[in-house]
Amino acid sequence: MKLPEEAVMLRIFIGERDRHEGRPLYEALVTKARELNLAGATVLRGILGYGATTRIHSSKILALSEDLPLVVEIVDTEEKIQEIMPFIDETITEGLVTLEKMRIIKYRHA
């Protein structure tokens, strides 16, 4: 069964070394999304990228490979995404956050 809906994707661009209260920031973000019962969250690890500092982070260069770029994607309704925004404001000290409206299609068992 296909169920089309309107949703919002929250994308958070951070580094692998970023921390929140001693643990990886990406883990804290996904845990918070789960606590708020948001529809889904995924962490993607980049193999090459750069941000505001223009320093290239690459999996090919050993010295820089310890801080690869990460993207945390969280999808839900706009109202539900707004629930995590205070936590985002509190925890993101350096990075980029984007919001994108989207049409999603959920596939579920009948």
Q: 23: domain CATH number?
A: 3.30.70.120
Number of folded domains in the chain? 1
20 has a pLDDT exceeding 60: yes
Residue 25's contacts (CB-CB under 8 Å, 6 or more residues apart) are 14, 18, 19, 91, 92
The whole-number pLDDT of residue 106 equals 74
3 has a pLDDT exceeding 70: no
pTM: 0.84
Domain, as residue range, for 15:
2-107
Q: In one letter, which amino acid is 83? A: E
- Cα atoms in the Cβ-side hemisphere of radius 13 Å centred on 104: 17
Residue 85's contacts (CB-CB under 8 Å, 6 or more residues apart) are none
* pLDDT tens digits, 30-69: 999 999 999 999 999 988 877 766 666 666 655 545 778 9
The whole-number pLDDT of residue 64 equals 47
The whole-number pLDDT of residue 23 equals 96
The whole-number pLDDT of residue 4 equals 55
Residue 100's contacts (CB-CB under 8 Å, 6 or more residues apart) are 8, 9, 11
Q: What is the C-alpha separation between 101 and 84, in angstroms, rounded?
A: 16
The whole-number pLDDT of residue 94 equals 86
